[in-house]
Amino acid sequence: MNYLASIGSYALMIKEVFKKPTKWRIMKSLILKEIDELIFGSLGILIFISFFIGGVVAIQTALNLTNDLLPKSLIGFATRQSIILEFAPTFCSIIMAGKVGSYITSSIGTMRVTEQIDALEVMGVNALNYLVFPKIIALLLYPFIIAISMYVGIFGGWAATVLGGLSTSADFVEGLQLDFIPYHITYSFIKTLVFALVLATVPSFHGFYMKGGALEVGKASTTSFVWTSIVIIVLNGILTQLLLG
């Protein structure tokens, strides 16, 4: 029953987020602040991870091509498919659940503990709109950093393949072009937008409705990361079946 109650509370929270909007002059500065914190602040770690994931996928693929009849272009093909379909949108979103999700939960949870949220509500401000809506708008830019992640991941695969002497650049590029389906990019971006909504709202829910003191803020951040990851993985399965099945 607690899970059902939490799902109901989450749905009501989403509804309240879009009620009684904050003045645009204030909201604009909040959105720009969240873009800086959530999007630009995450670029470094995602680029670093994507580069090495692409390299590892390429190396593992090359080492498993033991049959001489298999073309070396399969290295580029496997790297492209792995990065675009799963590693960039899904794996990076789970990384973001730890980085961005914990930040969102702890910042909102700290405001709850220090009664800043109560002060906003006393002043007649819709606290959910003030705190959560800018995060939702900022994370609408999330597909752009996932696009960068895809590019860097594939570049990492190329670098590992060519610099490691596993294959030639021409073979790798040939594999990148082999049986390319543009819809796979659309599929990845649809998933990314759904994951962006999850990243903005699930951690906010755990921070906004937490109870207790400073110790509970840490517990809420951990719980937020676990549930955000679970929701992303479950939605990944559902969306894959709906969009590719």
Cβ-proximal residues to 97 (8 Å cutoff; 6+ apart), any chain: 199, 203, 225, 228, 229, 232
The answer on pLDDT for 150 being more than 90 is yes
- Give the mean model confidence (pLDDT) for residues 2-30: 87
4 within some domain = no
Q: What is the pLDDT of residues 91-125, one digit of tens each?
A: 999 999 988 988 999 999 988 888 888 888 888 88
Q: Which of 135, 156, 141 is nearest to 87 (CA)?
A: 156
11 within some domain = no
Q: Is 215 exposed, middle or buried (0-12, 13-18, 19+ CB in 10 A)?
A: exposed
13 within some domain = no
The answer on pLDDT for 66 being more than 80 is no
**How much is the pTM?**
0.90
Quick one: pLDDT at residue 245? Answer: 75
Q: Which of 175, 194, 181, 189 is nearest to 234 (CA)?
A: 194
At 48, the pLDDT band (50, 70, 90 cuts) reads very high
Q: What is the pLDDT of residues 192-201, one digit of tens each?
A: 999 999 999 9
DSSP-assigned states of every residue in the chain: -HHHHHHHHHHHHHHHHTSSPPPHHHHHHHHHHHIIIIIIHHHHHHHHHHHHHHHHHHHHHHHH--STTS-TTHHHHHHHHHIIIIIIIIIHHHHHIIIIIHHHHHHHHHHHHTTHHHHHHHTT--HHHHHHHHHHHHGGGHHHHHHHHHHHHHHHHHHHHHHTTSS-HHHHHHHHHTT--THHHHHHHHHHHHHHHHHHHHHHHHHHT--SSHHHHHHHHHHHHHHHHHHHHHHHHHHHHHHH-
8 within some domain = no
Could you list the residue range(s) of the whole structural domain that residue 63 is in? 30-244
137 within some domain = yes
112 within some domain = yes
Number of domains the chain contains: 1
